[in-house]
Amino acid sequence: MRLVYVDNNATTPIAPEVFEAMVPYLTKEFFNPSSMYEPARRVARAVREARQRIARFFGRIAPSEILFTSCATESNNTAIVGAAKANPHRRHIVTTAVEHPAVLEVCKEMQRNGYDVTFLPVDRHGNLDISEFIRALRPDTLLVTIMHANNETGVVFPVAELARITKETDPAILFHTDATQSVGKLRIDLSGEYRHVDMLSFSGHKLHAPKGIGVLFVRKGTPMRPFMIGGHQENGRRAGTENVPYIIGLAKAMELAYENLEEENRRIAQMRDRLERELAARIPYLEINGKGAPRLPNTLNLSCHFIEGEAILIELSEHGICASSGSACTSGSLEPSHVLLAMKVPFTAVHGSVRFSLGRYNTEEDIDRIIEVFPQVVEQLRRASPYWDAKRNAPREEAYGLLQEAGALT
């Protein structure tokens, strides 16, 4: 059975070119870049060049503003906790109700430690209310931390505008964005349109680099204390021996991602849109989450009324299709997605959610396979539902009250 992998927002396969670039630093170039002899200095130069190459993809920023971490979760923790340590007199944080757990749970922990946190809501499409955001900013606001693109729905927030508003309101408020899903999919000029962003996080394994390498961009002059304390590495901002092979791999992965970005985005968006269109035509009572908002070109989040997402994923897996019900970091929980709850997805559909996230190696044949299998899976599972009339392929009469109560018929 041919594998159809459409869970690229969870992780991506390492590109062969990336692996090839890493191999020398996993073998003969194994030296610690902090050592003083020539082979180690050679490795240090390779790290320095990789930092420079990565910085170029964000506009005219200094390579020293690129801080290597182990993952986006560490980058997010560093940004939030490090900002708080450096600004102890400000005790208010602004974020959203739909952040990845790597931000959301940190903010909740800050709240338990006495900080006041505003969790901004979103509308049914996943959009933020700009006027509500403006009202949330206060004289004691320490930090705004808002994701660039949502990992579950692909909804893109106007981060450049939000950062500009923040700095025009109070230049001392720090602005951080978790760009884990957007780096490698969208162009982000931190010296141009995004010049008001102070800190930006992302992770290599979302763009065909390996797991275990992340980045935190920290604009020069941003007050932030180290999160990882120990050695002198990363100019004293993050202790720990540099993960040299993975840093080299990340630089190569970013080159691959950005060399044909617009063309690749068009190709992927066409496949995503065809998948969305065909599934919507074949499956009644289907919610397209985020459809009314700007979205990443690769992400499609669906909710099917009256069936469970976990059952859908198991059946898809039996047919060789790898998808997810939302964030990989919250899988295993019986609770519905906090993102979809915040978007007020009807309760009759919120448990029946599936995310298809496409990537560089997906083909039209993959889309054909999903279009063939997914409606059959939904039909099969609905036949077992007490709320579904299989003969009419529609909800039973008594289920319409539930749909009306859930707001699905408005």
CA distance 200 to 315: 38
pLDDT digits (tens, 9 = 90+) for 344-388: 999 999 999 999 999 999 999 999 999 999 999 999 999 999 999
Distance of CA 222 to the CA centre of its chain: 24
pLDDT for 332 equals 54
Question: How high is the pLDDT of residue 406?
Answer: 81
Structure token pair of residue 359: 């990537």
Is the pLDDT confidence value at 249 over 90? yes
Helices (H), 57-183: 72-86, 101-112, 130-136, 159-169
**What is the Cα–Cα distance from 60 to 220, expressed in whole angstroms?**
13
Q: What is the pLDDT of residue 132?
A: 98
**Residue 110 pLDDT greater than 90, yes or no:** yes
Residue 106, SS3? Answer: helix
Active-site annotation holds for 71? no
Higher-pLDDT residue of 358 and 409 is 358
Check 71, 304, 322, 329 and give the catalytic one: 329
pLDDT value at residue 179: 98
CA distance 264 to 278: 21
Residue 404: per-residue pLDDT? 85
For residue 333, what pLDDT band results from cuts at 50, 70 and 90? low
pLDDT at position 140 is 98
Kindly write down the DSSP assignment for every residue of 285-322, as one continuous string. Answer: SEEEETTTS-B-TTEEEEEETTS-HHHHHHHHHHTTEE
Residue 410: its pLDDT value, please? 60
Average pLDDT over residues 93-112: 98
Give pLDDT, residue 405. Answer: 85
Please give the Cα distance from 74 to 202 (Å, whole number): 10
Q: Determine the average pLDDT of the residues in 122-151.
A: 98
Greater confidence (187 vs 330) lies with: 187
The chain-wide mean pLDDT, for the chain, equals 95
Are 355 and 326 in contact by the 8 Å Cβ rule? The answer is: yes
* 269-328: pLDDT as tens digits: 999 999 999 999 999 999 999 999 999 999 999 999 999 999 999 999 999 999 998 654
**Confidence at residue 98, expressed as pLDDT on a 0 to 100 scale:** 98
Residue 21 in this model has a pLDDT that exceeds 80: yes
Angle, helices 101-112/72-86, rounded to nearest 10 degrees: 30
What is the separation, in whole angstroms, between the first and last Cα of the chain? 42
Note the pLDDT of residue 397: 86
3-class secondary structure, 370: helix
Q: pLDDT tens digits, residue range 141-179?
A: 999 999 999 999 999 999 999 999 999 999 999 999 999
